[in-house]
Amino acid sequence: MSEQMIWYMSAENGRGEEELDAIAKVFNDIGLQITKSEDPEDLRLSISEVEPVLLLADLGEVGTWEGWKIISAVRDEGIILPVMVISEELSGNGAVAAFLAGGNDYMTKPLHTGEFKCRILNLLTLTGRRRNLQHLLKVDGLMLDPSRRLVTREGIELKMTHKEFDLLYYLAANRGIICSREEILKQVWGYQFHADTNVVDVYIRHIRLKIDKGYRNKLIHTVRGTGYVMRVPEGSTTS
């Protein structure tokens, strides 16, 4: 049975179908089963029954404080659970309010799904709740198994350095999304890494020689002036 998370949506939150689908896809890609809740009492019951690894507090405008009260109530009951808060930022104080209420991380909407996924994974890692998740990725014959740091294409093992694997996995997890060089440096090398963005180009060159050379379908594509994107060839399967 897959690990579960709870997606709490406040009543004040106006959500479009496209936004809902994008958020759901992030958790499906990570390997988390979603339990939705829109009522405070239902939320408490779900937490006790589901035993989730994460709570997503999807709130409305920062000026409506009902959502913050819900998070505070969860903390007051002694529930130890990583909480990711997302909301529409109108006052400039959303992050402060989120952390004071008991949240562990905060993002404003509209979300950048690539960064959102990385923040969720980082939160699960820091709280020790990532170890049971399945993160194996498959893209057009390319397979990445993070539990063994193994990469294969068409069944052939491809040797990768530690950082090459991290970069390739980041692109695969965000397939179809253009990732800037600056974003890659931030997410793959870390916030404290200061270097010319050319380091990304060097690593991409090495990775391409390993995963694309000799194959008809090229997976990593350059977006001139921006960065890189992993594109899935039409008709290919992913998971």
d(CA 119, CA 105): 8
Give the domain-ending residue among 91, 126, 161.
126
Residue 163 domain-assigned? yes
Q: CA angle, corner 127, sides to 126 and 130, nearest 5?
A: 85
Parent domain of 96: 4-126
Residue 145 and residue 121 share a domain = no
Of 123, 89, 94, 90, give the one whose Cα is nearest residue 109: 89
d(CA 32, CA 24): 9
Element holding 171 (H helix, E strand): helix 162-173
Residue 67 domain-assigned? yes
3-class DSSP string for 69-113: HHHHHHHHCCCCCCEEEEEECCCCCHHHHHHHHCCCEEEECCCCH
Residue 92 and residue 44 share a domain = yes
Report pLDDT for 1: 44
Report pLDDT for 62: 59
* Helix, strand or coil, per DSSP, at residue 194: coil
Residue 157 domain-assigned? yes
Number of domains in the chain: 2
> Is the whole-model pTM more than 0.85?
no
Report pLDDT for 36: 92
Report pLDDT for 232: 85
Residue 28 domain-assigned? yes
Residue 74 domain-assigned? yes
The list of the chain residues with pLDDT below 50 reads: 1, 63, 134
Residue 96 and residue 42 share a domain = yes
Give the domain-ending residue among 87, 107, 126.
126
The CATH code of the domain that includes 179 is 1.10.10.10
Give the domain-ending residue among 126, 157, 178.
126
Residue 53 and residue 147 share a domain = no
Contact 31, 133 (CB under 8 A): yes
